Structure 1
Amino acid sequence: MTRPLQNSSFRWFFTGRLVSLLGSSMAPVAIAFAVLESSHSAGDLGIVLAARSIPLVLFLLVGGAVADRMSRGALLVMSNLGAALTQGIAALLLVSGAYHLSAIASVEFLNGTLTAFTSPALRGIVPQLVAGIDNQRANSLLATAKNAISVAGPTASGLVVAAWGGGWAIAADAATYLVAAFCMARLDLPEHAPGPRSALVQDLRAGWSAFRSLPWVCATVAAFAVTNCVYVGVWNVLGPTTAKASIGAVSWGVVLSTRAVGVLVSSAAMYRVRLRRLLSAGQMCFALGALPLVALGLRRSVFWLVPSALAAGLGQGVMGIAWDTSLQEHVPNALLSRIAAYDDLVSFIAVPIGQVAVAPLAAALGDAHVVVAGGILFGAAALAPLLFRSVRGLEQKPKPQPTPAT
C-alpha cells in the first residue's frame, strides 16, 4: 500500500487539515475587516495582528519540544479545541458589538500561542501516519490542498465578510477548528513511548545540538533565512512599487496569480515524480525564484514576467515537498518537531530585516538596482547549500512497494 489515502488515519488527518486550512485561509481577511468595521482604526488592526504574530516567535521552540515529549495526536486535539475557543470568543465579541481592543488582542495572542504548538506537531506527525507508505506522496497531497485553499480561501472569506460581516467569518473559522479537533481525535498513532523525563530546557538544548549536528539541515535553513528575507522584502515591498511604474496593477495581479498556479501544479505533480537526490533537485528548482525578480528589476514586459513567475512557483512547490520529505526521512522522529521548530524560527527570523531594510536601500540605490540585486542574491542563496557534500549526497529512500495480496 503506497497511496496515503488508503490509510484511514491519514484520511482523517487530511480531512482535518483540509477543513482547518480553509478556516485559516479565511482568517486574515476576516480579522482585518472585522477589526476595521468595529474600530475604524488601522492602529488597532496593527496591534491585533502583532498580538497574534509575537507568540509564534516566543513559543515556537517550546512548542517543538512539547510536541516531541507527548502524543502529537493529543496535542493537535487540544490545540484545535483551544483555537476554536479563542476564535469563538473573538467572533462573539465582534458579532455582539462588544468590541474592545485589549480583549480581541488577548484572544488573538492566545490563538498565536496555540499555533506555535500546532505547527511543529503537524510536521512531526506525518511520518507516524504514513510509516511504511510514502512520505513524498503524503506531503504532495497536503501541499496541494494547502496551495489550492490559499487561492480559494481568501475569496470565500471575502464573500462571507461582504454578506454577513467579518465577525461571522471568524465564527466560521472557529467551527473549522472544532471539525479538525474531531478528525485529529480519530487518528490511530503508534503508542507514545516517552524517554527519560527531562527538563524542558534540556529538551531545547538537545534539539539545538541535534540541529547543529546535521550540516545539510543547517545549510538549507540558512539559505531559507536569506531567501525569505529577499522575497518578503524585495518582492512583497518593492515589487508592487516597481510593477506600478512598469507593467501596472492588473498585470502585477496576473503575475502573482501565475506564481500561485505554479506552486499548485508542481505540488500536485510531485505525487508522481520521484527523484533520487530529491533535496538537490529541490534546491536547483528553488533557485528559479530569482527569475521574476531579475525580470522585474530590468523592467521587462509582462510577457517575460508571467513565465518567470510560473517557473518560480513551480520551483517553490518542488522545494517545499523536497524539504519536508527529506526531514521526515532523515531526522529521527523523536527529534523531528524540535528540528522543525528551529527550522521555522531561523528561516523566518530575517523576514523583518528585509521588510525594514529594503526601503532605505531602494532610496539610496534605486528600486530597479535593489530588485535585480535581490534576484541575484536569491538565486545564489538557493544554490549555496549544494556546496555541501551532505546536501548533494542526500538520497531519498526507495519508494515503498505495494503489499502483495494474500
Structure 2
Amino acid sequence: MVRPAVAGRGRGAHGVHGDRRGARGPPSTGRARLRPGAEGLLRPRPQKKCLTVQGRVPHTHRVTPPASSRPRGRGADSAQRLPLRALMRRRGFRGLASGRALTYFGNAMAPVVLAFAVLDMGGSAVDVGLVVGARSVSNVVLLLFGGLLADRLPRALVLQGAALAAALVQSGVGLALLAGRAPMGALLVLSVVQGAVAAVSVPASAALIPLTVPADELRPANALSRMGVNAGMIAGTSLGGLLAAVASPGWGMVLDGAAFAGASLAFRLAGRERASVREQTGTVAAPARPWRELREGWKEFVSRTWVWVVVLQFFVVNAVAAGGIQVLGPTVADATFGRTAWGFVLATQMAGALAGGVLVARSRARHALRLGVAVVVLDALPLVALAQSADVAVLVVAMFINGIAIEQFGVAWDLSLQENVPQERLARVYSYDALGSTLALPVGEMAAGPFAERFGVRPTLLCGVALVTLATVGALCSRQVRGLTTGQSRPAAGPPVVETRA
C-alpha cells in the first residue's frame, strides 16, 4: 500500500482464509512398514532431521519444502522468533532488501534534487511543477503495465533492468548538470524515467519477497524489508536537500545514479533464474494480449472482497493524509512553530515506522489484517494535534505513534496479499493496489486548500479526522477483513525457495 512520502493455493472457491488446493496426506513419520506381528521385533530407523537456518547443509544448494509440507504448531512459527539478522543470511532476500532500500533512497532523493536543479537553471515554480509532476504522471500511467511486466518476466531481471536504466539516465544528467549543459528537456525526460522505474519497482519487488524466503518467515521478512525502505526514504530526502544546498544538484544526481547502479547489482542476488513466475509455478499458458492479462489481474483484485475494501479505505485515508499533512501541515507550521520544527515532526513519523518494523517482526498475530486495518484510525492523531494545539511536543508524539501504526498495517497488508493471492497474478494485484493509493494523493492535495479557505483550517482537519474514522469503521464491517488469517500457508503455487551459499 503506497503512502504519502512524509507493500489457500491454486484457484477455485475461497473464503476469508484464501484459496486452498486439495488436502495432502500427512507427512511421513519415518516409521517403516512391518509384517503383522513383527512390530515388537524391529525398531524402525528414524529419519535424519534437516537443519534449520542456524545449521549448515553440506550441499551447495538447499531447497526449502513448500509450506504445506512443513510442520505447524509451536515449531511452525519459530522462524518469526529468529533474530532479524538471520534473514540476511539468505542470499536472495539480502539482495532484494538491499536493492529495495537503494531504490527507495534514489526515488526519495530525485524529486528534491530535480526541484533545486530547475531553480538553479532559472526556472520558475511552474517549471518545477512541470518537471516534478511528469514523474507522477508517468508513474500512474505505467503502474498497471509494471505489474503486468513483473508477472510475465522474471521479477529480479525486471528490477535489474529498471534500476540500470535509471542509473544510466541519472548519471548522464548529473554529469551534464555539473558541466552546465543540461537543458530543461533533459530534466523532464529524467523525471519521466524516474516515474517509470517506480511503477515497475513497486509491484515487482513486493511480489518477489515470497520467492526469497520460506512461508513461515514472510512476516519478519516483510518487516525487515520495509525497515530498509523507510531508512532509504529518510536518508534520500535528507541527503538530497543537503547536497543541493552544500554542493550542487549535479552531484546529487550522480549519487542517485550510483545508488541505482548498486540496486541493480543487489537485485542480481535476489534471483538468478531466467524463468518467469508462470514457468516456475507450472501455470504457463498461451501468450495473451496485455489488455486481457490486465483484465485477469482486475478479476483477481475484485474477487477478494477484503482486497478492494482495504484499497477503498486507503483511498480515503491517503487523500486525507496528503491534504492534511502535506498541504495544511506546512501552513500551520509557518503560522506557529516554524519550518525547522515541522521537518523534525515529519522525521519522527519515519522513526516511528522503523520502531514499528521491529515490533511487528516479532508479532505472531493470526488476524494481522484486522489489527492493521484497525490501527489505521491512528492516522487521525496528527490531524487532531494540528487542529487542537499545534504544539510541537504533542505533534511529535502523535506522529511517532502514527508511524508505528503505519508499519503495523503495511506488514499485515503485504503478508495478507503474499499468502492469499496466486504468485502468477500477485504483481498485477499489487499494481492495482498502488494505483488506487496513488490516485488519492492529488485528490487530497488539490481539495485541502479550497476547503480550508472556505471553512477554515481547523474544521477541515477535523473533517479529515471524521473521514479517516468512518473509512476504518467501514473496512472493519467487512467479514472478510475481520476474518482473514495469516501465517497458515502460502496460497499460490509458488516454487520452493532455493538458497545458495553467500
Mark yes or no: TM-score above 0.5: yes
Shift in CA distance, 246/108, structure 1 to aligned 2, threshold 3 Å: closer
1:97 matched to 2:187 = no
Asked if the contact 1:141–1:271 (Cα under 8 Å) also holds between the matched residues in 2, the reply is yes
Q: Secondary structure at the match of 1:130?
A: coil
Match of 2:40 in 1: none
Q: Tell me, yes or no, if the aligned pair for 2:216 and 2:487 is still in contact at 8 Å.
A: no
SS of corresponding position for 1:349 = helix
Deviates more, 1:44-53 or 1:18-27: 18-27
Residue 394 (str. 1) matches residue 484 (str. 2): yes
CA shift, 1:328, in A, is 0.8
Q: Deviations over 1:54-93 (max 9, x none)?
A: 1111111111111111111111111111111221222132
Secondary structure (helix, strand or coil) at the match of 1:148 reads helix
- SS of the residue aligned with 2:214? coil
The structure carrying a bigger helix percent of its residues is: 1
More off after superposition, 238-247 vs 144-153: 238-247
Please state if 1:298 is matched with 2:355: no
Structure 2 partner of 1:308 = 398
Q: Percent identity?
A: 35
1:20 matched residue in structure 2: 103
Tell whether 2:147 aligns with 1:36. Answer: no
Does structure 1 residue 188 correspond to structure 2 residue 271?
yes
**TM-score when scaled to structure 1?**
0.92
Q: How does 1:257-406 map to 2 (within 5 A)?
A: 257-299=347-389, 301-398=391-488
Describe the SS at the equivalent of 1:371. Answer: helix
Q: Which moved more, 1:325-334 or 1:115-124?
A: 115-124
Cα pair distance change 1:347/1:26, threshold 3 Å: closer
Counterpart CA distance in 2 for 1:164 and 1:253 is 21
Task: Measure, in 2, the Cα distance between the counterparts of 1:387 and 1:105.
Answer: 45
Q: SS at 1:314's partner residue?
A: helix
Contact 2:91–2:269, Cα closer than 8 Å, also in 1: no
Aligned to 2:224: 141
Which consecutive residues of structure 1, in runs of 5 or more, have no partner in the other structure? 401-406
Give the superposition deviation at 1:252.
Answer: 3.4
Question: Could you tell me how far 1:20 is from its partner in structure 2?
Answer: 3.0
Change (3 A) 1:35 1:261: same
How many Å apart are 1:130 and its aligned residue?
Answer: 1.3
Letter matched to residue 262 of structure 1: G
Q: Which residue of 2 aligns with 1:255?
A: 345
Q: How big is the alpha-carbon RMSD for the aligned residues of Structure 1 and Structure 2?
A: 2.0
**Which residue does the alignment assign to 1:53?**
136
Distance 1:255 1:110, change over 3 A: closer
Q: Which residue identity lines up with residue 125 of structure 1 in the other structure?
A: L
Match of 1:134, as an amino acid?
E
Q: Which amino acid aligns with 2:381?
A: L
Contact 1:86–1:108 (CA<8 Å) still a contact in 2?
no
Residue number among 233, 247, 252 corresponding to 1:169 in the alignment? 252
Change (3 A) 1:188 1:357: closer
Would the alpha carbon gap of residues 292 and 114 (structure 1) be closer, same or farther in structure 2, given more than 3 Å must change?
closer
Counterpart Cα distance in 2 of 1:240 and 1:78: 38
AA paired with 2:430? A
How many residues align? The count is 400
The 1:36–1:245 alpha-carbon spacing in structure 2 relative to 1, beyond 3 Å, is: closer
Deviation string for 1:138-168 (max 9, x for gaps)?
1111111122232233232233334431111
Question: C-alpha separation between the residues in 2 aligned to 1:125 and 1:306?
Answer: 35
Preserved CA contact (<8 Å) 1:294 1:376: no
Normalization by structure 2: what TM-score? 0.75
User: Shift of residue 251 of structure 1?
Assistant: 4.3
Indicate the residue corresponding to 1:86 in structure 2: 169
Larger Rg: 2
Query: Which runs of 5 or more structure 2 residues have no equivalent in the other structure?
Result: 1-52, 54-78, 80-85, 491-502
> Is 1:236 equivalent to 2:326 in the alignment?
yes
Code of the residue aligned with 1:106 in structure 2: it is V
Distance (Å, rounded) in 1 between the aligned partners of 2:400 and 2:159: 35
